[in-house]
Amino acid sequence: MEKYLYIALFAPLASSLFVALFAARPKMLFTGIVASLLIGVSMIASFILLIDVNNYGPLHVTMMDWISAGNLSIPFGFVVDEVSVIMMVTVTLVSTIVHIYSIGYMDHDKSFNRFFSYLSAFVFSMMILVMSDNFVGLFIGWEGVGLCSWLLIGFWYHKHSASWAANEAFIMNRIADLGMLMGLFLIYWQLGSFQYDVVFANVKHLDPAIITTIGIFLFIGAMGKSAQFPLHTWLADAMEGPTPVSALIHAATMVTAGVYLVIRCGELYTLIPHVGFAIASLGAFVALFAASMALVNNDLKRIIAYSTLSQLGYMFVAAGLGAYWIALFHLMTHAFFKSLLFLGAGNVMHAMHDELNIKKMGGLYGSMKATAILMSIASVALAGIYPFAGFFSKDKILEVAFNEGAYFLWFALFIGAGLTAFYSFRLVMLVFFGEKEYKKQGLHPHEAQNFVIYALVPLGLLAIVAGFFEHAFHGFVTKLLRNYEIHIDHGVEAILIAATLGIAISGIAFAIYMYKRGGFPKSLEERACYKILSNQYFIPYAYERFIMKPFTALSHFFWVSIDTKIIDATVDLIARVFYKSGEKARKMQSGNLSDMLRWMVMGIVVLLIFAILYRPTV
């Protein structure tokens, strides 16, 4: 079975390197096909491993040594257990579809080949991230996906906004990475190893204060990748990248790496429930916070990005409260319907010639039925309507919050569910139904190529049926993860489910009702609360004003005032003192005999005084 492990891991790398050979050439169709095939191979290997893990248990290999110094020793080791194999399957499945989709989407792009090289490199990094058997290996993948995200957000680098967003994402993630590194160092100096098995076996013997510190540091790392408040601004800006990238990296896989980390460290977080509760609270806050921003935004992709942010919040609630398998389940179902939503949005963008403002679309159902249906399925799943996938996973998270007695969190998520339903259908209504605003711009939208639609069908199916795998999934992953049972009275549970479904359906109904009638009045946009929301609570502005500006000014001050005017000037001053005194002293050597004699007398006097006064002690 090791063979399949290496195939699953290295097929994406092979794909990336092979395609990179043609990166500088004009578009070659076969690069896209080869890349898709190799990622497909990786997916098949992952599925084989899934069956294998189910039958025979986890697989653990050590490939070779990497770093060793002092007591430290880090190998390249990989583990395929119940958690990582679920991640592998999810990642490769979505990646394969995104690769195939991109053949169509990037059709006219002159950097077609380069795109596939980056995309496959991303899949490789993600596989390293989920398959590593130690924290530093995870960190390789962690930084690797960060690099690929940078490359892909800034893929159209001639656009200022794209390269700016790429840098923002990288730097924000770096801030969080520092926290993560600190966590790793602490783990090492406490336990002497980075291996998961060693760390989790021994972590319970540590001082609770230290476990808490480790937990906080690692979560800071997770906050960066999963774009949790206050490190969330990069995710919406990352929508500058090509849409398949948004679907794969910024919806389905990379942004869930933080959730994966918390799930993976479940045994550590179980020991520190107070930190877990803080994570859950932050998650619930982000769930509402992001959903509120999605309500008023008019940018097709940004709405979905905020929705992703909000759903990540849901996952953190589950993970923080100790329901790791539920968090992982939502992670998986979310990957399916959210990538579908993004890819559908990509079709819309193509049809609309890269127009992103949903207010300028409308009535696209007529010309793109398949996309409209797929996106509606994804939206229903996202809203959490039975029997779609989102219902099963999201409802469980609400039940967990209720079960833990965290009624406040439950209420936040409950409201969030209503908002989610509303903004999802606001988007669907504004894009596919109502007035055909696009006609004013003289556009003739057309449906995407057939193979692109076919590639999306599996995701559509999964968005419908994935929820029914709940029991099988539960039984499978809880072999490794701590089991979490919900003990709520059946009657209460039924009421909760009904309430959640109720608020979701009313959200949808409200959106349909309002936008059938032409939407909200314009006057609403003048209100302060609308302005706050549409400006993202002025947070990006505040970062620019209170962090970037002062940093730039301080850097400049350090350079101009301190480095040049103080430090270097002091050095030059010392040099000048020597130089000038030499210059002045030169006059003594005038060559005039009487002057020279006078100096000589003076010298003798000085020497005499010295001889009289100085008494060596020896």
Partner 1 sequence: MEHILSLLVFFPAMAALLGFMVNKESIRAYAIGVSAIEFFLSIILWIGFDASNAGYQFVEYFALIPSYGMSYYLGVDGISLFLVILTTFTTMIALIALNIEKDIKNLILSVLFLEMAMVGVFVILDIIWFYAFWELSLVPMLYIIGAWGSTRRVYAAIKFFLYTFAGSILMLVGILYMAHLYYQATGVWSFALPDWYMMQIPFTTQLWLFGAFFLAFAVKVPMFPFHTWLPYAHGQAPTIGSIILAAVLLKMGSYGFVRFSLPLFPDASVYFLMPVAIVAIIMVIYAAMVAYAQEDMKQVIAYSSISHMGIVVLGTFAMNAEGITGSIFLMLSHGIVSGALFMLVGMIYDRRHTKLMKDFGGLASVMPGFATIYGIMLMASVGLPLTIGFVGEFLSLAGFYRISWVMTMLAGTGIILGAVYMLVLYKRSFFGAVVHEENKTLKDLNAKELTALIPLVALVVILGIYPKPVLSTIDMSVQKMLVLMEQKAVEQSTKDLIINANTVGGTK
The residues that touch partner 1, with contacts defined as CB under 8 A, are 23-24, 64-72, 136, 139-140, 143-144, 147, 150, 154, 157-158, 160, 163-164, 166-167, 170-171, 174-175, 177-178, 181-182, 184-186, 188-192, 207, 210, 551-552, 554-556, 558-560, 563, 567-568, 571, 575
Q: How far is the CB of 427 from partner 1 (least distance, A)?
A: 31
Least distance in Å: CB of 73 to partner 1? 10
DSSP secondary structure string for all residues of 520-559: S-GGGGGSHHHHHHHTGGGHHHHHIIIIIHHHHHHHHHII
Nearer residue to partner 1 within complex by CB, 560 or 588: 560
The residue behind tokens 């990622």 is: 39
For residues 189 and 451, which CB has a smaller minimum distance to partner 1 in the complex? 189
Residue 407 has phi, psi (to 5 degrees) of: -65, -30
Name the burial class of residue 18, with classes exposed (0-12), middle (13-18) and buried (19+) by CB atoms within 10 angstroms of its CB.
middle
Which residue in the block uniquely carries the two structure tokens 């509402």?
Answer: 288
**Closer residue to partner 1, CB minimum distance, 201 or 554:** 554
> Considering the complex, what minimum distance in angstroms separates the CB of residue 333 from partner 1?
31
Smallest CA-to-CA distance from 126 within 153, 92, 152, 96 is with: 92
- For residue 583, give every residue at least 6 positions away whose Cβ sits within 8 Å of its Cβ, in sequence order, or none: none
Tell the smallest beta-carbon distance from residue 140 to partner 1 (Å).
Answer: 4
Distance (Å, rounded) from C-alpha 422 to C-alpha 394?
16
- 192: region left, alpha or beta (phi > 0 left; psi from -120 to 50 alpha): left
Contacts of 519 (CB under 8 A, 6+ apart): 430, 434
User: Least distance in Å: CB of 111 to partner 1?
Assistant: 9
Alpha carbons 536 and 123: distance in angstroms, whole number:
31
The CB-of-572 to partner 1 minimum distance in angstroms stands at: 8
Task: Report in angstroms how near the CB of residue 172 gets to partner 1 at its nearest.
Answer: 9
State which H helix or E strand residue 259 sits in: helix 257-264
Q: Rounded to whole angstroms, how far apart are CA atoms 123 and 128? A: 9
Which residue number, 575 or 604, has a Cβ lying nearer to partner 1? 575
Closest of 118, 200, 539, 291 to residue 126, by C-alpha: 118
Q: Among all chains, which residue has been given the structure tokens 């480790």?
A: 214
Please report how close the Cβ of residue 262 comes to partner 1 at its closest, in angstroms.
21
Closer by beta carbon to partner 1, 86 or else 191: 191
Peptide bond into 445 cis (omega under 30): no
Q: Which is nearer to partner 1, 144 or 434 (CB)?
A: 144
Whichever of 192 and 363 has its CB closer to partner 1, that residue is 192
Reduced to 3 states (helix: H, G, I; strand: E, B; else coil), residue 158 is coil
Query: Which contiguous run of DSSP H or E holds residue 283?
Result: helix 273-296
User: Which of 541, 551 has the CB closer to partner 1?
Assistant: 551
Give the nearer residue to partner 1 in terms of CB position, either 45 or 184.
184
Smallest gap, in angstroms, from Cβ of residue 307 to partner 1? 28
Structure tokens at 562: 């301190």
CB of 43 to partner 1, least distance (A): 24
- Residue closer to partner 1, measured from CB, 95 or 111: 111
